């Protein structure tokens, strides 16, 4: 990326948040803080009203906005791919919002880029064992947008929740975050009925409404901290750490991970598992392209399955 493109990208990044840390810009572009300071100074000298707060970061002065941005072919293509994933793992409300955004993106593309996007769109398929096969169609499928809005605005949600036994209870929930694991979206929040943090599967919510009541954060608990506590309370949930070679992923997204770390040619991914056997069978498809850091039970199960396959195919060869 040349400097002009980088300066434009930094300006766009500064408009995505109220305050952007210099470290965030440096991490995004893989450059030193000294270069960040120099680039921001160049933007200011060009007339962009950028303010700064010691120890916090940079911000754009109220009232300044870039003109409508144009998308590159690669950026538009990435949105098409993301849309295919959204179709599989998001609910109706999110799919509708994403499709609306995608139409706006397509509307500003050049004619050649529009043709390219249409060609790509018709030649991408995502086969994901998830939403379509696991959704209980007796439950509504349009709450995720409202849940996201409540998380962002820190507003209390009122919902009727159906547990595994089929019992319905009404809850007032202060949402802390949302998370995708075990092939379902989960709302994590403080339940006023149970007086503690709880995990609500979105596909078990029968009715949901935003009360509009704003709440103050009870603590600085993060999703990672919540799941750490949940592991201790629920023996059926197990954290796992797996390193993938990027070559075997072939551009595929690891949508059900809690965190991902780019290691250059590899990706270190952390998972939440409720089935060792399911994850072990899934990892088999990547062959030698994965390395299981933990837990030992997952590594052992993969080895067992590999041995079973070896014995099975050797036996069949002998019988032939």
Per-residue model confidence (pLDDT) at position 39: 93
User: What's the mean pLDDT in 67-93?
Assistant: 78
User: What's the mean pLDDT in 78-94?
Assistant: 81
The band of 221, judged by pLDDT with boundaries at 50, 70 and 90, is: low
Q: Domain extents for the chain? A: 3-60, 73-121, 144-221, 238-316
* pLDDT-wise least confident of 41-45, 55-59, 184-188: 184-188
In the predicted structure, residue 43 carries a pLDDT above the cut 80: yes
Q: What percent of the chain has pLDDT over 90?
A: 26
User: What's the mean pLDDT in 173-198?
Assistant: 83
d(CA 185, CA 290): 26
Per-residue model confidence (pLDDT) at position 262: 85
Q: What percent of the chain has pLDDT over 70?
A: 81
* pLDDT-wise least confident of 98-112, 133-147, 188-202, 247-261: 133-147
pLDDT tens digits along 270-295 = 877 777 888 888 899 899 999 999 99
Question: Which tops the pLDDT comparison, 133 or 68?
Answer: 68
Q: In terms of Cα–Cα distance, which of 215, 93, 99 is closest to 150?
A: 215
Per-residue model confidence (pLDDT) at position 183: 66
Per-residue model confidence (pLDDT) at position 65: 66
Helix (H, G, I), strand (E, B) or coil at 91: coil
d(CA 200, CA 192): 13
Sign of CA dihedral 38, 44, 47, 48: positive
The overall average pLDDT reported for the chain is 81
Per-residue model confidence (pLDDT) at position 160: 94
238-316 CATH choice from 3.30.70, 2.30.29, 3.40.50, 3.30.1490? 3.30.70
Per-residue model confidence (pLDDT) at position 63: 73
Cα 156–160–166 angle (5° rounding)?
145
The class level of CATH for 144-221 reads: mainly beta
CA distances from 23 to 20, 27, 41, 57, 299 (A): 8, 6, 16, 9, 37
In the predicted structure, residue 12 carries a pLDDT above the cut 90: no
pLDDT tens digits along 108-163 = 777 787 787 777 777 666 655 444 444 454 566 678 888 888 888 889 999 999 98
Per-residue model confidence (pLDDT) at position 50: 92
Per-residue model confidence (pLDDT) at position 78: 81
Per-residue model confidence (pLDDT) at position 130: 46
Per-residue model confidence (pLDDT) at position 304: 92
Per-residue model confidence (pLDDT) at position 219: 61
Q: What is the pTM assigned to this prediction?
A: 0.51
Per-residue model confidence (pLDDT) at position 133: 43
CATH architecture label of 3-60: Orthogonal Bundle (1.10)
Q: Which residues contact 301 (CB under 8 A, 6 or more apart)?
A: 276, 277, 280
């Amino acid at each position: 990326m040349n400097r002009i493109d980088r300066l434009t990208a930094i300006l766009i990044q500064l408009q995505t948040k109220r305050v952007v840390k210099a470290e965030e810009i440096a991490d995004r572009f893989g450059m030193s803080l000294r270069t960040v300071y120099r680039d921001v100074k160049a933007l200011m000298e060009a007339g962009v009203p950028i303010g700064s707060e010691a120890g916090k970061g940079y911000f754009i002065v109220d009232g300044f906005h870039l003109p409508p941005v144009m998308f590159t072919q690669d950026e538009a293509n990435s949105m098409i791919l993301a849309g295919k994933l959204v179709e599989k793992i998001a609910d109706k409300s999110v799919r509708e919002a994403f499709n609306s955004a995608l139409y706006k993106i397509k509307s500003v593309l050049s004619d050649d880029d529009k043709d390219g996007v249409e060609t790509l769109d018709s030649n991408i398929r995502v086969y994901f064992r998830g939403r379509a096969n696991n959704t209980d169609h007796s439950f509504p499928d349009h709450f995720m947008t409202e849940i996201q809005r409540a998380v962002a605005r820190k507003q209390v949600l009122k919902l009727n929740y159906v547990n595994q036994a089929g019992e319905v209870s009404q809850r007032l929930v202060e949402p802390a975050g949302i998370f995708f694991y075990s092939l379902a979206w989960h709302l994590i929040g403080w339940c006023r009925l149970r007086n503690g943090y709880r995990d609500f599967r979105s596909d078990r919510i029968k009715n949901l409404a935003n009360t509009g009541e704003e709440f103050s954060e009870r603590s600085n608990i993060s999703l990672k901290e919540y799941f750490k506590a949940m592991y201790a309370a629920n023996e059926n949930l197990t954290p796992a750490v797996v390193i993938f070679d990027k070559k075997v992923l072939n551009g595929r997204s690891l949508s059900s991970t809690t965190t991902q770390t780019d290691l250059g040619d590899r990706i270190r991914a952390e998972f939440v598992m409720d089935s060792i056997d399911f994850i072990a069978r899934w990892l088999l498809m990547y062959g030698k392209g994965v390395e299981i850091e933990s837990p030992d039970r997952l590594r052992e199960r993969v080895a067992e399955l590999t041995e079973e396959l070896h014995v099975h195919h050797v036996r069949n060869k002998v019988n032939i």
